[in-house]
Structure 1
C-alpha cells in the first residue's frame, strides 16, 4: 500500500458562493427574512481540488474564471490552499461562475448555479500524465468532460453531479463514479457501471460493482453546520484512499470521516486533517470493534 498520495487533476467548476443562512428554507413564492449573507470560494471542482491538497495530495485544477474581481479572488484562494492553478483560464467575455445558496439552521440547502466562465473553456493545451488521477464533475459542459475522458490515460473518476444522462462512452471509460442516493436513482445507467460509490447522508455510503453492493461504511455522527462542501470533500478523500491501495470498505469509512469533518465546518472548502490521520482513526475504530 502506498504512503504517498497520488497526484490529482480536477477538471471542474470554480464559483463564487453567495450564501444566505436562514432559520428555514423558503417555500415557492415565499420570502423568509432574518438571513445572514456571506460570500466564499466554491464550485464543485474548486472544492474537490482544495480538499485534495488539504488531505495531503498534489492537486491541480483545470477550469475557468472571468476577468473580474471574483475570478481573481477564487484563483488566489485556490493557490493559497496549495492547488496548482496554472491551467485556470481567464475569460474576458464571461463572468466568474456564481452559486446562489440558501442554508437553513439544520444545514440543508437550496442551490442555483450560474455557470458563467465554467461553460466557456476547453482543454486545449492541457495534457494528462499516465500516473495522474483525473476527477471531473458535471458543473462544466459535458463535451469538456468527454474530452478529459478521452485524453486521460490514468484513473478516471466522475462525480456525476448535477445528475444527467451520461453517454455510454463516458460511463465505459469511468474507473469510478461517485453520486448521492438521489443522483443514483436519477441515472439508471449507473446500475451497469463497473464501480459506483453512493452516499446516503446519515446512513453512510456504499460501493457497487455492476449494480451489486460489495462494500459499505456507516456515517459518523456530527453536528451539521453546512452540507455544501461535504460531498466534495468525500469525493476527494475516497479517490485518494482508493488510489493509495485501501480496500473499498476502508476507503468508504475514511471518506465518510472526512465528509463528517466537512459537514461540521461552515465553509464550502473546509479545513481538513491529512488523509493518514483519518486512516488511523478508522483503523482504531475497527480494532476497538473486534
Structure 2
C-alpha cells in the first residue's frame, strides 16, 4: 500500500539497466545488405533504469540506482554521467568479466525507434549483491521502481524486501519477458506499454475495447493500479474505482526512445508526491512528451521546468 506522503522530493531505489546507447538518426530502416548514410550518430549513456533515475532526479526526486556496468570505458563514462545528474550510484557494481551493456537505436524521421541491445553486465547482478545495497536503503525509501532488464531472482528478492518494509513497488513491465507475476502482486502501479501488455495477457490490443479489456485483465492479476502506455495516444488508467483514457500532449516527435522511461519516472514521482492518479498520469504524459520531442535517451530526459512549461502551454491553448 502507498504510505503517507513524506516529502515533495521523494526518494526511490531503481533497479535495472545501464547501457551505452549508439543512437542513429536514419531516413528509414536499411534493407539487408544495404549501405546507408546517416545524418547523425551519437554515443550516450542510457538504459531504462539509468534514464528513469536521471528523469526522477531532474523532476525533483532523489534516486539510488542499483545495477552493474562493466569495468570498462563505457562503464566509467556512465558513472560520470549519472553522478553529474545527482544520481546515487553507490549500488552500481563494475563487473570485470562482462562489458557494459550496449545498444544500437535506429531513429526514423517520425520519431519511431528500433532497438538492438546486448545486456552485458546488466545480467550479472547477483541477489546477494543487490540485497547488500538495497537493504540499508529500505528505511529511507518512499518507493522501489524496477523493470525487467535485471535477473528475475534479483527482482523477486527486491520485491519481497520492499513488501517487508512497506515500501510501495512500481513495476515498468519491459522488456516483455516471461517473468513471474509475483513481481507485480500488490504493486502500487504496473506500467506496461502495448506490446508488453499483450505479452502478459496473451491477446492483441487492436482498439479501445481490447485496450480496456487488457487493462482490466492486468488489474485482476494483482497490482493496485495499471497504467497502459499507448505512446502518441496517451495512456489508459485502470484502478479499482476508475478506468480512464488520458490523452497525450500534442508534440512533434523527434525520438521516442526514452519517452517511456521519462513517463515512468514522472508517474512514480507524482504518485509519491500524493497526486491523484489521473493527475499523476497527465504529469507523466507531459514528461514523456518532452523526452520524445528531442533526440537521444538520457540527455533527452525532462526537467521539471520544461514539463510545467508544456503543461501550461497546453492549458493556454485548450
Q: Please, what TM-score do these two structures have when normalized by structure 2?
A: 0.83
**Structure 2 stretches of 5 or more lacking a match?**
202-216
Q: 1:76 to 1:246 in 2, by over 3 A?
A: same
CA contact (8 A) 1:25 1:102 kept: yes
* Equivalent residue runs for 1:1-290 within 5 Å: 4-27=8-31, 29-35=32-38, 36-122=40-126, 123-126=130-133, 127=135, 128-130=137-139, 131-152=141-162, 153=165, 154-188=167-201, 190-192=218-220, 193-194=222-223, 195-209=225-239, 214-269=243-298, 270-274=300-304, 278=307, 282=311
Alpha carbons of structure 1 residues 87 and 66: separation in structure 2 relative to 1, 3 Å: same
Deviations 1:23-79 (A, max 9, x none): 01134x252501132110100010000000000101110011111000000011000
- Structure 1: stretches of 5+ with no match in the other structure: none
Contact 2:171 2:187 in 1 (8 A): yes
Aligned equivalents of 2:10, 2:244: Cα separation in 1? 23
Q: Structure 1 length normalisation: TM-score?
A: 0.91
Distance 1:141 1:2 in 2: 31
Q: Which moved more, 1:140-149 or 1:187-196?
A: 187-196
SS class of match (1:184): helix
RMSD: 2.3
SS in structure 1 at match of 2:94: strand
Q: How many residues align?
A: 286
What's the CA shift for 1:265?
A: 1.7
TM-superposition CA deviations, 1:204-226 (whole Å, max 9, x none): 1111136x862331101111111
Cα distance in 2, alignment partners of residues 106 and 280 from structure 1: 23
Native 8 Å contact 1:66 1:96 kept in 2: yes
Larger helix proportion of the pair: 2
Specify the SS of the correspondent of 2:178: coil
Distance 1:248 1:157 in 2: 13
Is the alpha carbon distance of 1:171 and 1:274 closer, same or farther for their aligned partners in structure 2, counting shifts above 3 Å? same
